[in-house]
Amino acid sequence: MARVRDVVILGSTGSIGTQALELVRANPDRFRVVALTAGGSNPQLFEAQVAEFAPALSGLGEQASVEAAGMACDVVLNGITGAVGLRPTLAALDAGNTLALANKESLIIGGPLVRERAKPGQIVPVDSEHSAIAQSLRAGRAEEVRRLVLTASGGPFRGRTREQLLEVTPAQALAHPNFAMGTVVTTNSATLVNKGLEVIEAHLLFDVPFDRIDVVVHPQQLIHSMVEFVDGAVVAQIGLPTMMVPIAMGMAWPDRVPDAEAAVDWTKAADWRFEPLDDVAFPAVRLAREAGQRGATAPAVYNAANEVCVEAFHAGRMRFVDIVPTIEAVLGAHDVRSTMSLTVDDVLAADSWARAEATRTIAEGPA
């Protein structure tokens, strides 16, 4: 029988955090919450969580998350959204804790820093696509892997041309066909920026070159991602389009949590579609590959510029179709810092610069 694991949950009031606590409630013999932190956007919910789980440590803000990530525990679930998750990620790694990583931004913007501090197997991905790849990789050795295939829902605008996206509204961008997520992640799914970030993340997590990481549109999102091996075999992880299995795998890795989610009902007829990615209407993935190949601070700039654009789009200050071109313009103006001397301050400085440059570019309007 698996022993009880001491779990730290960062971002406890967000989508990942609240689902993680559902798993804890359902599995008190598997998990014990020893710390909870949040950003502070929902203080009433946070107070209720602290009252229910009575963690040894709790607090709001980045410093509280850094402190919690570094405490003695079995696993730190980083469910924070945005660049503010970087320092907690590094604190968890430096403390030797297993890091269940849902905060993709910390890996993407701090790539070289995170990789040099992480021990083999210390980071367990919680993104559904990367969890699927990690599970599928169990089927073979690293040298037998030919390519990784990330699946994408295509978002609410799948199949539309660029011209058909000109009048997209924020409400339409938030109407994701399968998942209920926050504003930034849902908008990123609509632009496919999220899939671009995931390509960079896959490269950093699994050390696979960018030219061997593909993206395919799979609207049903029942296949979460796939690994193609050198003999032509493809191993996929299949499940309902929810985050419960990836979160459970992150907290229990390498074990599984019984009944974390219902299985696919194979008695019902269903059609699964696969479509190529439209790089013309949705150039975000191509741009992310370029940023990832430049490396160093370029991914941080990609991420930061996008967050500013998403905020501006929802505030009515820019069009949906101008989000990715603005990110590209900011990347084009960026002088990439060398990886030889990259520090946390360098990464965060690039993040701040990109936010300021994106704000200026948006104010000037589209070219």
Reported as a pLDDT band with limits 50, 70 and 90, residue 193 is very high
Report phi then psi at 183, rounded to 5. -60, -45
Question: Rounded to two decimals, what is the model's pTM?
Answer: 0.94
Reported as a pLDDT band with limits 50, 70 and 90, residue 190 is very high
pLDDT of 125-141, one tens digit each? Answer: 999 999 999 999 999 99
pLDDT of 157-174, one tens digit each? Answer: 999 999 999 999 999 999
Closest CA to 292 of 212, 221, 191: 212
Asked if 334 contacts 354 with a C-beta cutoff of 8 angstroms, the reply is: yes
Q: What percent of the chain has pLDDT over 90?
A: 89
Q: Is the pLDDT of residue 282 over 80?
A: yes
pLDDT of 145-157, one tens digit each? Answer: 999 999 999 989 9
Which two tokens mark 177?
């066909």
- pLDDT at 336 (0 to 100): 80
Report phi then psi at 234, rounded to 5. -120, 125
- Mind listing the domains of the chain with CATH numbers? 5-125 (3.40.50.720), 135-219+275-364 (1.10.1740.10)
> According to DSSP H, which parts of the chain are helical?
15-26, 43-53, 62-69, 86-94, 104-109, 111-117, 128-136, 170-173, 183-191, 193-206, 244-252, 284-294, 298-314, 323-332, 344-364
In angstroms, the CA 227 to CA 222 distance is 15
Map residue 292 onto helix, strand or coil: helix
